[in-house]
Homo-oligomer: A and B are copies of this chain.
Amino acid sequence: MIVALAGGVGAARMLRGLVAVVPPETITAVVNTGDDTVMHGLHISPDLDTVTYTLAGMINPETGWGLRDETWSAMAELRAYSEGRLAWFNLGDRDLGTHLYRTSRLSEGASLSEVTHEIARRWSVGVRLRPMSDQRVETRVVIDDGAPEGREIGFQEYFVGHHHDVAVRAVRFAGVESAPAAPGVLGAIASAERIIICPSNPIVSIGPILATGAIGDAVRARRLDTVAVSPIIAGQALKGPADRMLTELGHEASVVGVARMWAPYAATLVIDEADAGRAREVEEAGMAAVVTPTVMTGPRESAALGGVVLGAA
């Protein structure tokens, strides 16, 4: 059995690579829900949906999120009603079906774990998908908006509303103190042959998972069997603000900075060939470095990386 700690796009591609080399049923993905949000009354779980839709082969290739063959009627009306104000978070019509279902089931008393399982089952996703917690943990971001103390906003307002194009001063996970890991998560970590930290944003994707309940401690206890894949390549994130965010919060935006953050949790860091020259520094930071191509441009590259990750450690 394999456990993967997963954010959104990078993790989804990593998981797509893993299922190409081992049976999906042997993989448990523990997915970040810190950037879940309630929007217009609907419970939205962006990372869970990205992972689910990607593994189902249903991810929208035009947007990188949401469902393929999408229509946008509801959003067009919402935009017209609010002169755009309430329509900054795009929700396709098909995708809305997922949010309507999740919200309905949660209001019926189902847990997020149960609903996540149901949604994955509908799309015939074999990987066991679990939210990091069934309780609400909310990633909050203090942005630099000119005010001396900055301004705290929700993650989606930062990421989508501001196009993550604003400096970040601090990040916190509201509610994390009292949120236990979702059922099955700690047991899966304890008994896994291999634990993988997917190439997701260390601060806002993997950070909330490691901060939830006893998940961080459980991973530390399995450090020798844990392999992380750097989301930073040659100092840059392939997608999203991970590089800037690392710098803004006092880390180094490099594989070395990532190694310093993840060394307590994982013994091995998979880094891209572009960073081969920094392998020694990664090892000095406390992680064995495995150098391989890590850019998952397609299924073949994902599968190759999956093979390397499972072979490492």
Contacts and interface: CB of A to CB of B under 8 A. Distances in A.
A199 to B, nearest CB: 30
Interface stretch (A76-84, A138-146, A224-232): A76-84
A53 to B, nearest CB: 12
A75 B97 contact: yes
Interface string A97-110: 11011011001000
Contact of A97 (B80, B94, B107): B80
A265 B122 CA distance: 54
B42 A80 contact: no
Classify chain A's interface size: 35 or more
Nearest to A70: B73
B94 A77 contact: yes
Given A42-B42, A96-B96, A107-B41, A101 B81 contact: yes
A74 B93 contact: yes
Contacts of A114: none
Given A40-B42, A86-B104, A97 B74 contact: yes
* Majority SS at the chain A contact face: helix
A43 interface: yes
Contacts of A214: none
A81 B98 contact: yes
Contact of A71 (B42, B86, B93): B93
A119 interface: yes
Contacts of A77: 67, 94-98, 100-101
A103 B40 contact: yes
A118 interface: yes
B94 A74 contact: yes
Interface in A43-95: 43, 67, 70-71, 73-78, 80-82, 86, 91-95
A41 B44 CA distance: 12
A122 B76 CA distance: 13
Contacts of A97: 73-78, 80-81
The 8 closest A-B CB pairs, nearest first, are A77-B97, A73-B93, A41-B41, A41-B103, A40-B100, A74-B96, A81-B101, A93-B93
